[in-house]
Amino acid sequence: MRNYLIAVNPALWDIVEVGIIFPCGDATLTQDQEIDIQCNYRALHLIKSSLCAEEFDKIDRLQSAKEVWGTLFINHQGTRRVIEGIITLLESELNRFIIR
């Protein structure tokens, strides 16, 4: 996904990596803030449109591309750790059954 966002527009990955601060209330936006918000929603759209329904439900409420990316990253890292733990557990159980 990183390479895809960079290929579409390098500023999109910068927004995902760094994030943006949404202005509060009716504050007048600077041109840079408008561009950042626009890039955020472009990146958000690209990320969300590439997800399955289950993954989409995990991040649907989030409005920051950085938050979405971080949430997805943590969910998948956690899943990988769980799988590695299960594999280790199964290997130890299998070693008990091996006749030496």
Three-point CA angle 34, 43, 54, nearest 5°: 135
Q: Rounded to an integer, what is the distance from CA 12 to the centroid of its chain?
A: 13
Cα–Cα distance measured from residue 63 to residue 50, given in angstroms and rounded to the nearest whole number: 16
- Whether pTM exceeds 0.75: no
Q: Per-residue pLDDT for 69 more than 90? A: yes
> In this predicted structure, what is the pLDDT of residue 75?
82
Domain ranges of the chain: 2-97
> In this predicted structure, what is the pLDDT of residue 56?
92
Q: Per-residue pLDDT for 25 more than 90? A: no
Share above pLDDT 90 across residues of the chain, in percent, rounded to a whole number = 41
